[in-house]
Amino acid sequence: MSENYSFKNRDDLTEYIKSEIINTTEALEILQCTRQNLNNLVQRGVLNPIKDLPRDRLFFKEDIVKRKNDMDKKANK
């Protein structure tokens, strides 16, 4: 995935971050799973955080939503 992003100004970048980057708590809400399960997904390489912070991680919202959709498809089989 080699996407190029271009932002005209700082406000554009800020809006992008607000709408497309989520933290661990937001990821847990979307996935409806435990922190332990999320950590397991990261350790197995199923999800890749874009940044690890001392007490949090940042993810692309698109990756988390895609994982949720995959989980829902498996559950409905």
The conformation of residue 49, written as its DSSP 8-state character, comes to -
What values do phi and psi take at 14, rounded to 5?
A: -60, -45
The reported pTM is 0.88
**Longest distance between any two alpha carbons in the chain, whole Å:** 45
For the sheet containing 21-23, what is the strand order?
A: 21-23, 56-60, 51-53
> What is the 8-class DSSP label of residue 11?
H
Nearest residue to 58 (alpha-carbon basis) of 34, 36, 35, 26: 26
Q: Are 40 and 72 in contact (CB under 8 A)?
A: no
User: Quick one: pLDDT band at residue 2, thresholds 50, 70, 90?
Assistant: low
Residue spans of the domains in the chain: they are: 10-76
For residue range 3-35, list pLDDT tens digits in order: 788 999 999 999 999 999 999 999 999 999 999
